[in-house]
Amino acid sequence: MKIILLLHCCFVLLLNCQTATFQKNSNNQNPDQSFVGTWSGALPNSKSPIHKSWQITRKSDGSFTKSEILSIKGRMQKINRKGTWWIKDGMYYEKYDLDEIYQIMEYKLLKDHKIQFTSKEDGSVSVESPELQK
């Protein structure tokens, strides 16, 4: 039970890269179509025993579903989330439905159809790749 609680606490700390009160913005009505689809990503951290990976499906209506896997020293926890995403002033935003906080990340569209994200909170860098359609 203590390990599950520890996993959850660590996950929440990693997940909440940037906190602020969410205010609905008209810019999230027309999300950038470059981000639409199913993507997979990971947050590598060689200095930490914690590894985070995910699969996210972003829809053109600004909604998303995200399946995250957090691994700490070989123990895994899977969390499914839903929320809203949008682009504003060159930044990517994600807000989870059940939270009053959101993440803010700089992004770069890479040549190989990947997206690189840099957290505004801690500077961590992750890359998402599109999932191949079957």
**Contact 126/43 with Cβ under 8 angstroms?**
yes
Which of 92, 90, 33, 97 lies closest to 66, judged by CA? 97
- The CA distance from 100 to 126, in Å, is 23
Three-class secondary structure of residue 58 per DSSP: strand
- Give the CATH number of the domain where residue 12 resides: 2.40.128.640
Question: In angstroms, rounded to a whole number, what is the distance separating the alpha carbons of residues 79 and 1?
Answer: 17
User: For the chain, what is the domain count?
Assistant: 1
pLDDT digits (tens, 9 = 90+) for 91-111: 999 999 988 888 999 999 998
pLDDT tens track for 46-100: 677 788 899 999 999 999 999 999 998 889 999 999 999 999 998 999 999 988 8
Give the residue among 88, 85, 92 at the shortest CA–CA distance from 119: 92
Element at 5 (helix H, strand E): helix 2-15
Q: Would you place residue 2 in the very low, low, confident or very high pLDDT band (cuts 50, 70, 90)?
A: low
Nearest to 120 by CA among 99, 89, 98: 89
Q: What does pTM read for this prediction?
A: 0.73
Structural domain harbouring 19: 2-130
Q: Among candidates 78, 75, 94, which has minimal Cα distance to 86? A: 94
